[in-house]
Structure 1
C-alpha cells in the first residue's frame, strides 16, 4: 500500500484558513436602511417624536382604511437574534470545522475555501431560521393589526433575505 504525504497540502490549507475571516449579516453598503432595522430589532430602542409633539403611526382599521394613532414615543424591544445565532450554533460550527480539518489531514478534497463557504451557508441558514421562529417578545397590538400577524422579525421578508456571508482575508 502506498502512503501519501498530506502534510504539505494540509499546512498550505491551514495557513490559508488561519488568514480567513467569515462575516455574516447585512453586508451590502447599499442596504444601510436594512442594517439599521437589523440593529434596532436586535438591540431594541425607543423612538421619540422629534419635529412634532407626536409620532403618527398608520393603522389598518377593520374597514380596511388607514387611520393614524398619535404617540409621543414607541418602544421596540430587544430581540437578540444575532447573539442567539452565535450562542446556539457555536459548538456545532466548531465541530464542523474540526471534522473538516481532519478531512484535510486525511487527504480528502477539502480546502480552506470549501470549509468557509460551507460554514457561511450554515450560519446564514441558522440566523434565518432563528428570525423565522422568533416569537417573544411579540409585536405590539398595533403592529399585529398592520401586519396581520404576530411575527416579530419578519414583515416583508426583505431583512431576512438580505442576510448573506462573505469571506475576507484577516488583516
Structure 2
C-alpha cells in the first residue's frame, strides 16, 4: 500500500517545458500545429537577398502541421500502457522503487517521442529549407529540439 500511495496523484509529463527554453517551446508548437506567417517587406527582402525571391502575390508563408507530440503519444500510448501493466506488480511488491518506476516510464516515453521526431518525413521541407539546412528531415536541424524532449514527474 505504501508503494501505491507514492504513485497516487502523480503524473508523468513528456515534451518541451517552457522553463527550459521558451524559444524551443515556440518552435515545437509551430511544428506541432503549423502556422502562417505574414510576409513583411523585410522578409521579402531577406528571401530575395538569399536567392529565393517571393512572388508578389505571396502574402503568407505557411509552415505545415507536423504533429510530433500528439501523434507520438497516440502511436505509443499502448506500448507504454503495456510496460506499466508489466512493471506495476513489481512496484506493488516493493521490487521496484515507485519514483524510479515513474522516471523509467517517462524516459521511455520521451525516447519514443524523440524517435517519432526523427522518423517524421511528411509534410516534407520546402526545397529552400532542404538546401539551407542540408537535410530533408522536417524536425531535425541542429538536434537541439529533439534533444530537449524530456519528462517530468509531478
TM-score, with length taken from structure 2: 0.87
* Residue of structure 2 equivalent to 1:31: 21
SS in 1 for 2:122: coil
* Pair 56,95 (structure 1): closer, same or farther in 2 beyond 3 Å: farther
5+ residue gaps, structure 2? none
Q: Structure 1 CA distance, aligned partners of 2:45 and 2:133?
A: 17
| Structure 2 counterpart of 1:88, from 75, 82, 92 | 75
Q: Structure 2 CA distance, aligned partners of 1:72 and 1:147?
A: 24
1:104 Cα shift?
Answer: 2.7
5+ residue gaps, structure 1? 1-10, 60-64
Q: Which has the larger radius of gyration?
A: 1
1:67 Cα shift?
Answer: 3.8
SS in 2 for 1:110: coil
Q: Which structure carries more helix by proportion?
A: 2
1:141 Cα shift?
Answer: 1.0
RMSD over aligned CA atoms reads 2.1
Task: Describe the superposition over 1:44-87 as per-residue Cα deviations: whole angstroms up to 9, x where unpaired.
Answer: 0111125x37544558xxxxx94453453211110111111111
* Pair 66,49 (structure 1): closer, same or farther in 2 beyond 3 Å: closer
* Residue of structure 1 equivalent to 2:119: 133
Q: Which structure carries more strand by proportion?
A: 1
Task: Describe the superposition over 1:7-63 as per-residue Cα deviations: whole angstroms up to 9, x where unpaired.
Answer: xxxx1111221221111111252411110000000100111125x37544558xxxx
TM-score, with length taken from structure 1: 0.79
| Structure 2 counterpart of 1:69, from 48, 53, 62 | 53
